[in-house]
């Protein structure tokens, strides 16, 4: 049994979530309902990072249009180069944004 199959490994967790999608979603929703402060804290941190990574010259009209289109399609907005990556940090500008499904965005995580 390799490291990728060990009980706590990233791959085994991803596999469990794929195989138990509905149960995983229920667990996540229950946790969010029980921990509203944690969600609020995350949202504040994300907005703070986004604000710090938005240059003054950013085209806010284009950025807002991308978010509007994503919401209209029931999708999410992904930063191609993450705002808080391990090896590189991107900017919150329209050409660093991509409209993707929630699953695609979650699978990518905070990686470039």
The pLDDT tens digits of the residues spanning 52-95 come to 889 999 999 999 999 999 999 999 999 999 888 778 888 999 99
Bridging pattern class, strands 76-79 and 97-100: antiparallel
Residue pair 90/81 in contact by the 8 Å Cβ criterion: yes
Average pLDDT of the chain to the nearest whole number: 85
Spatial CB neighbours of 86, under 8 Å, sequence gap ≥ 6: 110, 111
**Which range in 13-22, 42-51, 58-67, 101-110 is most confidently predicted, on average pLDDT?**
58-67
Q: Which residues of 71-90 are buried (b: 16+ CB within 10 A; e: fewer)?
A: eeeebbebbeebbeeeeeeb
pLDDT digits (tens, 9 = 90+) for 87-99: 888 899 999 999 9
Residue 30 pLDDT greater than 70, yes or no: yes
Which secondary structure element, helix H or strand E, spans residue 77, and what is its range? strand 76-79
Provide the pLDDT confidence category of residue 2 given band limits of 50, 70 and 90.
Answer: very low
For residue 68, count other CB atoms closer than 10 A to its CB: 10
Mean pLDDT of 19-32: 89
């Amino acid at each position: 049994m390799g490291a990728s199959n060990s009980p706590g490994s990233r791959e085994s967790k991803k596999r469990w979530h794929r195989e138990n999608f509905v149960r995983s979603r229920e667990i996540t929703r229950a946790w969010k309902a029980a921990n509203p402060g944690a969600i609020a804290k995350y949202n504040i941190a994300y907005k703070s990072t986004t604000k710090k990574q938005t240059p003054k010259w950013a085209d806010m009209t284009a950025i807002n249009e991308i978010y509007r289109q994503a919401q209209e399609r029931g999708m999410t907005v992904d930063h191609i180069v993450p705002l808080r990556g391990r090896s590189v940090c991107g900017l919150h500008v329209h050409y660093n944004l991509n409209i993707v499904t929630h699953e695609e965005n979650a699978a990518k995580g905070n990686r470039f």
